[in-house]
Structure 1
Amino acid sequence: MRTKDSHKGTDNVLTDLGFDDAEELSAKAVLAVKLNEIIEKRGLSQTQAAGITGMTQPKVSQVRQYKLQNISLERLMQALVSLDQQVEIVVRPARRAHGAGITVAA
């Protein structure tokens, strides 16, 4: 009879999958989802979105496809600001149950 390895998962599937930069990728994903929602809601083409955000069209394409490894958190935040969004960063003591980390809410 085979026994299953008991691995307790985390709140972050990317951590569970072994990504070293899981928290950063998760934060980028949340920002990219919001950015893509705004682009869709406004009916912007990638070229139009690039013009407004200051990104190149290929970078906008990467965001649209959630290929976020070569795009910084700062760049995503600046793109949201250029689309008239308020981006807030909050620093507070970590709760003991969750420990230190990065969380983004949009």
Structure 2
Amino acid sequence: MTHKNHPQATENVLADLGFADAEELSAKAILAVKLNELIDKRSLSQIQAAHITGMTQPKLSQVRRYKLQNISLERLMRALVSLDQHVEIVVRAARRAHPAGITVAA
């Protein structure tokens, strides 16, 4: 039986796939999921959601399709706030249990 050496997997699949900005993309994806859930829950069209969030419809379409490379974390957070959400950023010293990095919970 032949054994292949596989790299150790992490909790971030994007990092495992070799994305240099994996932490940021992961954070954006979590925020986009929440934003899309809110849009769906309120049955908003892309035009309505774009108006409420201050985005253009094409930009909102990118979020709806999780094409997040050209959308900032700040823009996603502001969009969530415009949909009556509270966004909280917490900074604390890294420890063994929580190594340095970015974590987003929605």
- Shorter-normalised TM-score: what interval? over 0.9
CA distance in 1, matches of 2:21, 2:82: 26
Letter in 2 for 1:57: Q
Q: Deviations over 1:21-41 (max 9, x none)?
A: 000000000000000000000
The farther-off stretch of 71-80 and 88-97 is 88-97
Superposition TM-score, scaled by structure 2 size: 0.96
* Number of equivalences: 106
CA distance in 1, matches of 2:17, 2:98: 19
CA distance in 1, matches of 2:40, 2:94: 35
Instruction: Compute the displacement of 1:60 (Å).
Output: 0.6
Residue number in structure 2 paired with 1:78? 78
Residue number in structure 1 paired with 2:68? 68
The farther-off stretch of 43-52 and 95-104 is 95-104
Residue number in structure 1 paired with 2:11? 11
CA distance in 1, matches of 2:21, 2:95: 21
Letter in 1 for 2:56: T
User: After TM superposition, where is structure 1 displaced by more than 2 Å over at least 4 residues in a row?
Assistant: none
Superposition TM-score, scaled by structure 1 size: 0.96
- Runs (5+) with no aligned partner, structure 2: none
The farther-off stretch of 51-60 and 1-10 is 1-10
- Runs (5+) with no aligned partner, structure 1: none
CA RMSD across the alignment: 1.0
Share of identical aligned residues, percent?
Answer: 79
Q: Deviations over 1:10-59 (max 9, x none)?
A: 11000000000000000000000000000000000000000000000001
